[in-house]
Amino acid sequence: MNVHDSDRIRRMIQDAGYAEVQRYEDADLVILNTCYVRENAVDRVRGHLGELNRLRREGRVKRVALTGCIGAAEESAALRQTYDIDLVLGTHNTYELAEFVGLPTMRETYTPELPGTEGGHSAFVTIMTGCNYQCSYCIVPTVRGRMICRPMDSVIGEVENLVAGGTGYITLLGQTVDAWRHEGKRFCDLLEAVSESAPRVWFTTSHPSNMEDRTLRAIGERDSIVKRLHLPVQSGSDRMLKVMHRGYKAERYRRKIEIFREAVPDGTLSTDIIVGHPGETEEDHEQTLRLVEDCAFDSAYIFKFSPRQGTEAASLPGTVPDSIVQRRFLEVLRQIEQNAFSRNQHKVGGEEEIYIRHGRTEDGKAIGETWSGHAVHVKTDAAPGEYVRATIESAGPHVLYAGEVDTSV
Ligand code: SAM
Ligand code: SF4
């Protein structure tokens, strides 16, 4: 979501006549578009602000703006003062940046209707903003507000424009995309409609309570949908899920995964897990490990609990000591990597159609994605957005390695 917001900011300031540079020293204006989900994101921003302050005193950088979720948090007032920031904007008033860079004010620019990046081979399309859940640990509802769903026509219109302009890969975006609903339509209706128009579609992030079985089946049935599901579980313990206000039990999550595995046998499944939420006991942690084993995730983002001021969890008793959090983190990580490694081994020897994404590895290989949603490193000169076919020669826990590209197809 931040990458998408940064794209829009980039286009806006380019419209104002700015060109992008790679080093702070070369910039007249620096915009830090920020995340507030965990404290380490804020620490990093403080580091950047300190450096920018110095460069500005030396006359090398002229102006600094802070946007995104930190800008929407109360803490931004103190940061503004400490680092003498010129402009602080939250998530709902980014359009004010237009005036700051000398463009006419465009209030409508930063509504959910603003199109994503056009002309690129892949694009994000926001279908909803905000979130109606109140997970104990999460600052998102505070900084992004309540859920607003974008009308179906508007989404489809944008997708059609993007595809007509050459975009081949659409990612539908939202904090809880599967909660999308509008005028009697639900997320699966939207996904199916988008999959009719776009050659390749993915969506993130989903919430287990909103995930319908028919959506899981649609992933398996529709050729243009990437067979990859990101479904954050957070914990395997019913007790913790309740404390977190997640709204489902581990058993219901397991059932969803069974349906997914049955409907999409070759698909990949990833999740988010928080370790060390206040009150998490050894038994809760054991249950998370058990769920991780049962679901055999292909990958996971594992987070150490980070207290966010203003959330319920920040003032809950039962802080888990750092050393225990670290051990639990490593235990979950080890379990995930073991599962992922053995699942990836099954892909070795198979031929895959690979979509080439942006970026290259250090040894010059292209980074691609299979239809099953696996990341692949492949030796090819094909440009981002193109497809190649190659056989998978080996696999690690995070990535598959393809051999020579098959040029006969
Ligand atoms: N909306 C998505 C959902 O409900 O799963 C996730 C959005 S959140 C930006 C991404 C992930 O960050 C969450 O799934 C959670 O695992 C993690 N997260 C959020 N708040 C956190 C906190 N205070 N400490 C540690 N991890 C956190
Ligand atoms: Fe945060 Fe996701 Fe929970 Fe919403 S559903 S409060 S974004 S973790």
- Cβ–ligand 1 distance for 234 under 6 Å, the answer yes
For residue 130, the CA-to-ligand 2 centroid distance in Å is 9
Euclidean distance between the first and the last CA atom of the chain, given in angstroms as a whole number: 36
Pocket test for ligand 1, best of 246, 299, 303 (most atoms within 8 A of CB): 303
pLDDT in tens, 157-176: 999 999 998 999 999 999 99
Average pLDDT for the chain = 93
- If one counts every other C-beta atom within 10 angstroms of the C-beta of residue 154, the result is 16
Predicted TM-score (pTM) of this structure = 0.92
Question: Which atom of ligand 2 approaches the CA of 272 most closely?
Answer: 8
Distance 134 CA to ligand 2 centre (A): 7
Identify which of 229, 272, 301, 329 to mutate to test ligand 1's pocket (most ligand atoms within 8 A of the CB).
272
For 228-253, what is each residue's pLDDT tens digit?
Answer: 999 999 999 999 999 999 999 999 99
Q: What is the pLDDT of residue 4?
A: 84
Q: For residue 206, how far is its CA from the centre of ligand 2 (angstroms)? A: 10
Q: Summarize the confidence of residues 198-217 as an average pLDDT.
A: 98
| Minimum CA distance residue for ligand 1 atom 16 | 272
Cα–Cα distance between 219 and 229 in angstroms, integer?
A: 9
CA geometry: angle 173, 75, 94, nearest 5 deg: 45
pLDDT band at 109 (very low <50, low <70, confident <90, very high): very low
Q: Please tell me the distance between residue 69's alpha carbon and the centre of ligand 1 in angstroms.
A: 14
pLDDT tens digit string along 25-73?
Answer: 999 999 999 999 999 999 999 999 999 999 999 999 999 999 999 999 9
What would the pLDDT profile of 264-319 be if each residue is shown by its tens digit? 999 999 999 999 999 999 999 999 999 999 999 999 999 999 999 999 999 999 99
pLDDT bracket for residue 113 (50, 70, 90): very low
pLDDT above 70 as % of the chain: 96
Alpha carbons 277 and 275: distance in angstroms, whole number: 6
Looking up tokens 């979950």, which residue turns up?
332
Residue 117 has pLDDT above 70, yes or no: no
Query: What's the rounded Cα separation, in Å, for the pair 214 and 380?
Result: 37
| CB of 243 shorter than 6 A to ligand 2 | no
- What separation in Å is there between the alpha carbon of 408 and the centre of ligand 1? 45
Query: Ligand 1 pocket, 176 CB below 6 A?
Result: yes
CA-based angle 245:246:247, to the nearest 5?
95
Distance from residue 392's CA to the centre of ligand 2 (Å)? 36
**In this structure, which residue's CA is closest to atom 20 in ligand 1?**
138
Q: Is 141 in the pocket of ligand 2 (CB under 6 A)?
A: yes
pLDDT band with cut points at 50, 70 and 90 for residue 112:
very low
pLDDT of residue 92: 79
**Averaged over 80-86, what is the pLDDT?**
95
Q: Which of 133, 204, 272, 308 to mutate to test the pocket of ligand 2 (most atoms within 8 A of CB)?
A: 133
User: 133 CB under 6 A from ligand 2?
Assistant: yes
